[in-house]
Structure 1
Amino acid sequence: MAEAAESLPPVAEIYNPNSPEYMTDPITQCLALAERGPLVWYEPWQAWIMTQMEDIMGCWKTEPLSSDFYDWEFAPQRPPEDEWSNFERAMIGHSLLADQSHHRVVRRVTAPAFSRNVVDNIQAKIEPEIKKLFDELGEPESFDYIEAIANHIPFISITRMVGIPEKYWPEIKKVIVTFTETWNPTISDEQREAARQDSNKAIDIIKEVITERRQAPVQDDFLSTLLRIEEENEGFEEGDIITMILALIGAGADTTLVAQQWTVYSLLKHKDQIDKALATPDTFSNAFSEISRWGVASKMGFARYAPDNMQFMGQQLRKGVMVLMMPHLKDYNLKYYDNPEIFDVEREFNPDVMFGYGPRFCIGAALAKRQLYLTVSELHRRFPNIELAEEPERDPTDHNAIVFKRLLLRTHCG
């Protein structure tokens, strides 16, 4: 057995998410990586990769590893408190990615802000703006969906969902979308520092909006809800509000752009399933899990760090080493799915772990899926005969996912 393992090529030769081969066919590399074992050392990232879903779910549930970026062995030195910028104030002690006990408190007290009623109210706010976006598009014979529609959706959500006034749009639009790069351990130090500086500017804007809102409360947006929660719950502070807004806008802007592209692309590649997918918000919720599974757009996973020298899954981990949980490695694995090559929007997901699991289930999942459902439903209502005008070229420059350079659609209008 040992001789067989030694004869295998290095992991970096079979798995490279930044390679042209992965861009074209991620499935082959994902399956090959998962076959190497439940915990695989990946030299290029100086990280262990967790490949099996049951182990990932267990890690999400029991949290034996740290989520704090500053616990990474190659992270910048944690600055002393008297040198913290706005970014450190928001991320240290308030981060949804860090302290486990505080994270659970935040989830508990903010759960009402993500109820079905709240999601329905937010739909009423953003739906007219989505319709307006399509009104402005008109009836072109063809158009690039990414440029004309997808790129605008995150910022509609900013103003209508979170409640950041439109006067701040031009300034915050330039700095908010890089927030998720601040904790991406696979990019350069220079990229991460640029994202950190952008985040500081975004936090300045959010703090200004919070100050305004305290003086003139508004009752029916997400920020107002968080301010009420702050008043009623000791231990939930302004830093938590800022972190949650950053996560919703920053991560939302990043993942929403990816989700918009792959949803439209996947459904147009399987037009016979569009009606089933878009029948209701609930059918779309399940369809989106299949869209994400079928597309395999992810390049990396969820980063965790060994808090001490420790035994973990049969391996000796050094303090600070990164462990990447990669749930997308299961997406074409026969162990988890029958006929994985078939796209089926009615496929059963039990459990559905696309947005995490247990205490780390994404609290904003329902919001993300609802805005996506509204946009794609409006697209097909306006253009019932729409189709792909070309097979889109994939863009290798995204730091976290496989995306398209453009998504050209033909409407058959005019």
Structure 2
Amino acid sequence: MTQAQADLPPIETLFNPHSEEYMTDPVPGCLALLKRGRLVWYEPWQAWIMTNMKDIMQCWKEEYLSSDFYDWEFAPQRPPEDQWSNFERAMIGHSLLADHDHHRLVRRVTAPAFSRNVVDKIQERIEPDVKKLFDDLGQPESFDYITEIAQHIPFISITRMVGIPEKYWPDIRKVILTFTETWNPTISDERREAARQDSNRAIDIIREVIAERRAEPQQDDFLSTLLRIEADNPEFEEWDIVTLILALVGAGADTTLVAQQWSVYSLLKHPEQAEAALATPEAFSNAFSEINRWGVSSKMGFARYAPADMEVLGHQVRKGQMILMMPHLKDYDSDYYPEPETFDVARKFDPDVLFGYGPRYCIGAALAKRQLYLTLTELFKRFPNVSLAEEPARDETDHNAIVFKQLRLKTNL
């Protein structure tokens, strides 16, 4: 460390994603962290933070760090296979955290399940449910978008897309949203273990649904497609199906709920751009990248782990240490984006790294954006003069993102 760096205040005094200051305005903290260096030690989390976008993209592309939760120095000891619970079977050796070769196999064989044609069919399947949500809402003077609409969308989408029968939904809804907490370094061991047990119960339900679908395979949904892929590819097995569904339901539901809030909030703060943003699914795809850039809702990043003692960006990193890649730090960097304070749904993103980059690019990105587009177009169709009823208060209890306690809208009918 140079003398100039030693004289700087501890980075945790400038960057604290769980502080009221960050929730109110995350930009100063993100810029302070970005400017501190390409790899920064963050004492509160006992983790390194990778700040530079070029370095992050190279790490995504080359995969020189581990994605395996059990390689983290603070993870519970990796149990022997004869003691694995559902959680271990999903997290060890399968599609979420698989070795490079198997992960590429999973992506290759499942690509047809995420094609444009499939996404179009999924939209047709969930559109009646979205319309019913708004029908049930009626024409109130005002309403909370989160409780009335946003909280229901991820579950509707997954129910129709994956093909999980609605009879299972009350049980799986209770346990699936905590999946992303199982590898969060900022929460207590007790909370992480509770999330692990929730994941075990969710996987029991998913496997029961898979068994039912094997008995009645001729259904036009994502799960039936995966079962056909399994039949044609010996190296693709049931646990790959489980982890794919777990990723879509767990991580997808969590992030989609955040995206719903920020998409509505951003467009209502800039109503003159709503029409352009929602002109077509392709226009919204680009607008959604701007919504995420402008909102800076992230608190953390993408977790990776050092597979051995190694040098990373000029620093000695010990085996097992976490390295958090934080691509959102660039979002208000004027060297990366011209006029970053300006919200512009036509802003060019090249490359667009919102959903990752390289081999680990989020395979469900198109699905996530399409369900958002469908819901927002319905909102503005029903309430063309909709506006914010008040500036929403931030919810400090969310472990992963800046979210709102409520998002009250005036319909102005």
Q: How many Å separate the matches in 2 of 1:359 and 1:223?
A: 23
Residues paired across the two proteins, number: 413
Q: How many Å separate the matches in 1 of 2:218 and 2:210?
A: 11
TM-score normalized by structure 2? 0.99
Deviation, 1:202, is: 0.6
Correspondence list, 1:323-338, <5 A: 323-338=323-338
Q: Equivalent residue of 1:154, what SS?
A: helix
Q: How many Å separate the matches in 1 of 2:341 and 2:282?
A: 23
Deviation, 1:311, is: 1.2
Q: How many Å separate the matches in 1 of 2:382 and 2:359?
A: 39
Q: How many Å separate the matches in 2 of 1:100 and 1:237?
A: 16
- 1:46 and 2:46 matched: yes
Contact 2:69 2:91 in 1 (8 A): no
Q: How many Å separate the matches in 1 of 2:150 and 2:5?
A: 46
Q: Determine what percentage of the aligned residue pairs are the same residue.
A: 76
Find the counterpart in structure 1 of residue 113 from structure 2.
113
Deviation, 1:102, is: 1.1
Q: How many Å separate the matches in 2 of 1:323 and 1:207?
A: 33
Q: How many Å separate the matches in 2 of 1:106 and 1:184?
A: 25
Coordinate RMSD, CA, aligned: 0.9
1:262 aligned partner, one-letter code: W
2:37 aligned partner, one-letter code: G
TM-score normalized by structure 1? 0.99
**Alpha-carbon displacement from aligned partner over 1:282-322 (angstroms, at most 9, x marks no partner):** 00000000000000000001010000011111111110000
Q: Equivalent residue of 1:288, what SS?
A: helix
Q: How many Å separate the matches in 1 of 2:81 and 2:231?
A: 25
Correspondence list, 1:10-409, <5 A: 10-409=10-409
Q: Equivalent residue of 2:316, what SS?
A: strand
Deviation, 1:160, is: 0.5
Q: How many Å separate the matches in 1 of 2:245 and 2:186?
A: 24
Q: How many Å separate the matches in 2 of 1:244 and 1:95?
A: 7
Q: How many Å separate the matches in 1 of 2:81 and 2:285?
A: 42
Q: How many Å separate the matches in 2 of 1:33 and 1:91?
A: 31
Q: How many Å separate the matches in 2 of 1:93 and 1:179?
A: 17
Deviation, 1:218, is: 3.1
Deviation, 1:155, is: 1.0
Q: How many Å separate the matches in 1 of 2:318 and 2:5?
A: 23
Q: Equivalent residue of 1:292, what SS?
A: helix
**Alpha-carbon displacement from aligned partner over 1:209-259 (angstroms, at most 9, x marks no partner):** 000000011331000111011001121100000000000010111001100
Q: Equivalent residue of 2:401, what SS?
A: coil
1:24 aligned partner, one-letter code: T
Q: Equivalent residue of 2:303, what SS?
A: strand
Q: How many Å separate the matches in 2 of 1:266 and 1:51?
A: 25
Contact 1:66 1:98 in 2 (8 A): no
2:239 aligned partner, one-letter code: G
Q: How many Å separate the matches in 2 of 1:89 and 1:404?
A: 35
Deviation, 1:87, is: 1.2
5+ residue gaps, structure 1: none
Q: How many Å separate the matches in 2 of 1:90 and 1:7?
A: 45
Runs of 4+ in 1 over 3 A off after TM superposition: none
5+ residue gaps, structure 2: none
**Alpha-carbon displacement from aligned partner over 1:121-144 (angstroms, at most 9, x marks no partner):** 000000111001100000000000
Q: How many Å separate the matches in 2 of 1:104 and 1:184?
A: 25
Q: Equivalent residue of 2:370, what SS?
A: helix
Q: How many Å separate the matches in 2 of 1:219 and 1:232?
A: 17
Q: How many Å separate the matches in 1 of 2:174 and 2:47?
A: 32
Q: Equivalent residue of 1:9, what SS?
A: coil
Moved more, 173-182 or 366-375: 173-182
**Alpha-carbon displacement from aligned partner over 1:66-89 (angstroms, at most 9, x marks no partner):** 000000001000111111111111
Q: Equivalent residue of 2:143, what SS?
A: strand
Q: Equivalent residue of 2:49, what SS?
A: strand
Q: How many Å separate the matches in 1 of 2:90 and 2:56?
A: 27
Q: How many Å separate the matches in 2 of 1:360 and 1:310?
A: 22
2:280 aligned partner, one-letter code: T
